[in-house]
Amino acid sequence: MTIADIKKNAQERMTKSIETLRADLAKVRTGRAHTGILDHITVEYYGQPTALTQVANVTLIDARTIGVAPFEKKMAAAIERAIRDSDLGLNPSSQGEQIRVPTPMLTEERRKEMVKLVKNEAEDAKIAIRNIRRDANEQVKKLVKDKLASEDDERRATDEIQKLTDKFIADVDRMVVDKEKEVLTV
């Protein structure tokens, strides 16, 4: 493994951390409805836990209501139960073959809790990025120890890895600021 391989691997892993954070932040709900908040819900389908999106069509009815149309009529009750039992605080109701999921207005207190949640998710992402940096630096030190790279190469590589880390942490901070604005906007 070369220094270039180590840097490339670190960058790929940091990018995955950012993508994971982006997915986690999409689950944090704001005052408006969006179909992404139901993505992590699983439904019991013939004894197997199955993603909601694989057993129903999820759409937006209006700015505050999500519509869920099961592919099979008999799945409606299980889908409704799964949404109600989730940690999202949603209360779905059946209307014929369609399940309506209204998203309640967020109180100021709940908005502040959401901001805390966003900051915790961001801190977890930063920790993951720093761990990747540490791993990459250890791999570079091992190359120097094994005499496959010089100490100058090590210094240059650790500087480049640090710059990469700083860039990704700045990305995390930017994402948090954007999500905070989104959550606190009434």
Domain limits of the chain?
3-27+107-184, 35-102
For residues 88-109, average pLDDT:
84
What CATH number was assigned to the domain covering residues 3-27+107-184? 1.10.132.20
CB-based burial, 78-106: b 16+ in 10 Å, e otherwise: bbbebbeebebebebeeeeebbebebeeb
Query: Which H helix or E strand runs over 107?
Result: none
68/182 Cα distance (integer angstroms) = 25
Lookup: tokens for 14: 């940091």
Long-range CB pairs of 107-111 (<8 Å, 24+ gap) are 111/183, 111/184
For residue 20, what pLDDT is reported?
Answer: 92
* pLDDT tens-place string over residues 9-53: 999 999 999 999 998 887 776 667 778 788 888 998 888 899 988
For the full predicted model, state whether its pTM sits above 0.75. Answer: no
For residue 158, what pLDDT is reported?
Answer: 94
Q: Which of 68, 41, 72 is nearest to 57 (CA)?
A: 68
The single-letter code of the amino acid at 8 is: K
* Domain 35-102 CATH class label: alpha beta
For residue 157, pLDDT over 80 is answered with yes
Lookup: tokens for 21: 């954070």
Taking all residues of the chain, what is their mean pLDDT, rounded to a whole number?
89
For residue 37, what pLDDT is reported?
Answer: 80
Contacts of 86 (CB under 8 A, 6+ apart): 41
> Predicted confidence band at 110 (pLDDT cuts at 50, 70, 90)?
confident
* pLDDT tens-place string over residues 121-138: 999 999 999 999 999 999
For residue 111, what pLDDT is reported?
Answer: 83
The single residue listed with the structure tokens 């892993």 is: 13
